[in-house]
Amino acid sequence: MPPLPLIDLGSIDLNRVLYDQEAIYKINPHRYEMVQLNGVVYQDAGQGLVVGYKDVTAMEFWVRGHIPGRPLMPGVIMIEAAAQLASFYVKILRQDDDRFIGFGGIEETKFRGTVEPGCRLYMVEKLLENCPRRFRCAAQGFVNGQMVFETVIVGMPV
């Protein structure tokens, strides 16, 4: 049984983009096929919550080979998308820190569904720990209201 959602996506305006791709480019260095975060639609620094999304297209680099005839977003790419949202959010919170936020690990990961081209993958994250040397975010992914993954993202400045 999946855990409760970190936030009810129905309670926020998913069409109100706070940070679009251009704004994300100013903070996250990812480019070309490694861009896995397309927009941020919600943030609440007081609650430590952020919601972003990845529009999964038929042009993704993995579509041709994973899996021919039935392309499925690899779990590792789902986690990368969550990590990009986590690092973006932490950089917003740590505006005076110009260090790159790197991926430090994942904990307690479970995959609960599939993500296919044509879907919008929403990532919901809650900051659990924000220390100078590392941070941890609980992360959940949703497609059409269904949880497709859950994990804890660990990051650190490098």
User: Of the candidates 85, 97, 93, 90, which has an alpha carbon nearest to the alpha carbon of residue 24?
Assistant: 85
Q: Which residues are catalytic?
A: 66
User: Of the candidates 84, 75, 7, 10, which has an alpha carbon nearest to the alpha carbon of residue 44?
Assistant: 7
* DSSP one-letter code for 3: P
> At a CB cut-off of 8 Å and minimum separation 6, what does 95 contact?
none
**In residues, how long is the chain?**
158
